């Protein structure tokens, strides 16, 4: 009997036998634990509960650097996430928020919002009223009015949604207003830097900036973000 075969059977009785006979913290050549194998092979929830009852190590990483929590995110297993959270799994990562399961889950808002206790995380699913406010600002035809409305936003959640929904081809001014807003969260700044291709603008020389008047505000914003992000846990 071995975990590589057990994890493909979907047979609860065989899992029960394996749990009593095999090492529940065993690692395969890829560094994966039995729990990770169960997640990868989408074993029944009851089988996963049998493993969790054995006081297994939930924080171990495989050779890809993934924990069981990240595997559950990868395979969109919300029920397993809830079980792992109930077991007290660590939501933080020594490398910062970009290495967390919440960050990996951001494309799936419902799953990401299960991990909101992650330090630095922000709610991604909007309530109806919040969605209306975001759309009202993003669809505003006047950039001056848009900037004014963005400066008045009092919710980090709404500001984050605006930044991620903004058409960056419309220019940097509204995003400069977002950056100046006190509720702009560190994760929002990280997204801004990525969305605006901050590294590209930081590399622009004075000669390149002088060739077009519209370029300088972009570099200035990239420099502001770079400075602010120095003090963020990334």
Q: What is the pLDDT of residues 192-222, one digit of tens each?
A: 999 999 999 999 998 888 888 899 999 999 9
Residue pLDDT, tens place only, 167-190: 999 999 999 999 999 999 999 999
Do 68 and 143 sit in the same domain of this protein? Answer: no
Is residue 97 situated within a structural domain?
Answer: no
**Helix and strand counts by DSSP (H, E) for the chain:** 16, 0
Q: How confident is the model at residue 130 (pLDDT cuts 50, 70, 90)?
A: very high
C-beta separation of 192 from 168 below 8 A: no
pLDDT, average across residues 148-161? 98
| pLDDT at 69 exceeding the cut of 60 | yes
Is residue 148 situated within a structural domain?
Answer: yes
Count: domains in the chain: 2
Do 63 and 151 sit in the same domain of this protein? Answer: no
Q: Using H for helix, E for strand and C for coil, what is the string for 22-68?
A: CCCCCCCCCCCCHHHHHHHCCCCHHHHHHHHCCCCCCCCCCCCCCCH
| SS3 state at 193 | helix
pLDDT, average across residues 3-25? 91
Q: Could you tell me which of 188, 173, 178, 130 has the C-alpha nearest to residue 151?
A: 178
Give the number of other CB atoms < 10 A from CB of residue 105: 26
Structural tokens at position 168: 């960056």
Spatial separation of the C-alpha atoms in residues 75 and 204, rounded to whole Å: 40
| pLDDT at 9 exceeding the cut of 90 | no
Q: Which residues contact 9 (CB under 8 A, 6 or more apart)?
A: 15
Structural domain of 155? 128-229
pLDDT, average across residues 61-75? 95
pLDDT, average across residues 41-70? 94
Do 177 and 223 sit in the same domain of this protein? Answer: yes
Rounded mean pLDDT of the chain?
A: 94
Q: How confident is the model at residue 233 (pLDDT cuts 50, 70, 90)?
A: low
C-beta separation of 66 from 60 below 8 A: no
% residues pLDDT > 90 (the chain): 88
Do 16 and 76 sit in the same domain of this protein? Answer: yes
Q: How confident is the model at residue 234 (pLDDT cuts 50, 70, 90)?
A: low
Do 9 and 79 sit in the same domain of this protein? Answer: yes
Is residue 123 situated within a structural domain?
Answer: no
> Among residues 67, 92, 117, which one ends one of the domains?
92
pLDDT, average across residues 154-162? 98
Name the pTM for this structure: 0.88
Q: Say what the pLDDT of residue 55 is.
A: 86
Do 133 and 48 sit in the same domain of this protein? Answer: no
> Among residues 92, 114, 148, which one ends one of the domains?
92
CATH number at residue 87: 1.25.40.20
| pLDDT at 111 exceeding the cut of 70 | yes
Do 138 and 225 sit in the same domain of this protein? Answer: yes
Do 217 and 158 sit in the same domain of this protein? Answer: yes
Do 223 and 148 sit in the same domain of this protein? Answer: yes
């Amino acid at each position: 009997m071995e975990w590589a075969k057990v994890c493909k059977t979907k047979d609860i009785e065989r899992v029960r036998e394996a749990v009593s006979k095999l090492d529940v913290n065993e690692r395969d050549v890829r560094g994966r634990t039995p729990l990770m194998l169960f997640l990868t092979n989408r074993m029944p929830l009851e089988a996963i509960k049998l493993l969790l009852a054995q006081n297994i190590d939930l924080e171990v990483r495989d050779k890809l650097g993934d924990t069981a929590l990240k595997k559950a995110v990868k395979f969109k297993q919300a029920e397993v996430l809830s079980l792992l959270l109930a077991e007290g799994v660590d939501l933080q990562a020594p490398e910062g928020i970009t290495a967390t399961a919440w960050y990996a889950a951001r494309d799936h808002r419902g799953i990401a919002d299960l991990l909101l206790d992650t330090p630095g995380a922000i709610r991604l699913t909007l309530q109806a009223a919040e969605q209306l406010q975001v759309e009202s600002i993003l669809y505003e035809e006047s950039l001056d009015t848009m900037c004014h409305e963005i400066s008045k936003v009092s919710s980090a959640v709404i500001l984050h949604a605006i930044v991620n929904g903004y058409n960056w081809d419309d220019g940097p001014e509204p995003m400069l207003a977002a950056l100046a807003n006190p509720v702009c969260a560190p994760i929002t700044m990280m997204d801004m830097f990525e969305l605006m291709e901050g590294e590209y603008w930081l590399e622009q020389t004075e000669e390149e900036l002088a060739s077009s008047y519209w370029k300088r505000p972009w570099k200035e914003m990239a420099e502001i973000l770079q400075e602010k992000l120095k003090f963020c846990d990334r």
